[in-house]
Amino acid sequence: MKRLIIPSLLVLLVAACGTTSELEQPPAPIESPRGADGGKVATVTAGGVDSRRLPLELTDPRSILSKRSIYFDYDRFDIKPEYRDLVAAHAKFLTGNRQFRMLIQGNTDERGSREYNLALGQKRADAVKKQLVLLGAREEQVESVSLGEEKPKNLGQSETAWAENRRDDMLYSGEF
């Protein structure tokens, strides 16, 4: 009996090693936004579109909408007065272009624990989302996530570097 069990277990072990785990499988496809007729939503703007199918007003450096970062003071998540017009401009764009979605990524500097920084980054992202929704964007158009200290803009160890990392980044459909 033991002679049969051990070879059987070895066969099962080898067979199990040959299977593909969930981590090795290709990711699920990401669906594009679709219109009411089931087709892709057309991006129509007077200024045209870029290679990511974003309206040029979102990528033209002369447009306020090309600015996509909001910076915060140390240990704070309130939107500074100098960024209110920027948030309002993005809210107006989202209100007029309901087919677009935005992802707000909340970031922090490296000071503080990982848990604290994740919570602070979420508060920062949620503050901008709340303001966008109050100004007319639909709740389902805007998603807020925290990256904490995981995506620094500046790897330095100075107040200037840390100030660059205390931010929200706003990404539109096609950029995330």
What is the distance between the alpha carbons of residues 127 and 116, in angstroms, rounded to a whole number? 17
Residue 116 falls inside a structural domain: yes
| pLDDT at res. 18 | 52
Residue 106 falls inside a structural domain: yes
Beta carbons within 10 angstroms of residue 130's beta carbon: 14
Q: What are 63-90's pLDDT values in tens digits? A: 999 999 999 999 999 999 999 999 999 9
Residue 6 falls inside a structural domain: no
Q: Say how many domains are in the chain.
A: 1
Residue 83 sits in which domain range? 69-172
Residue 78 falls inside a structural domain: yes
Sequence-ordered alpha helix ranges (H) in the chain: 2-17, 56-59, 84-96, 114-134, 159-165
Lowest average pLDDT, out of 7-16, 48-57, 111-120, 155-164, goes to 7-16
pTM over 0.75: no
Q: What are the DSSP calls for 132-154, one per residue? A: HHHTT--GGGEEEEEEETSS-S-
Residue 37 falls inside a structural domain: no
b/e string for 39-73 if b means 16 or more Cβ within 10 A? Answer: eebebeeeeebeeeebbebbbeeeeebeebebbbe
Q: What are 138-157's pLDDT values in tens digits? A: 999 999 999 999 999 999 99
pLDDT band at 48 (very low <50, low <70, confident <90, very high): confident
Give the CATH number, domain containing residue 162: 3.30.1330.60
Residue 42 falls inside a structural domain: no
Residue 100 falls inside a structural domain: yes
Q: For residues 33-59, give the mean pLDDT.
A: 59
What is the distance between the alpha carbons of residues 108 and 105, in angstroms, rounded to a whole number? 10
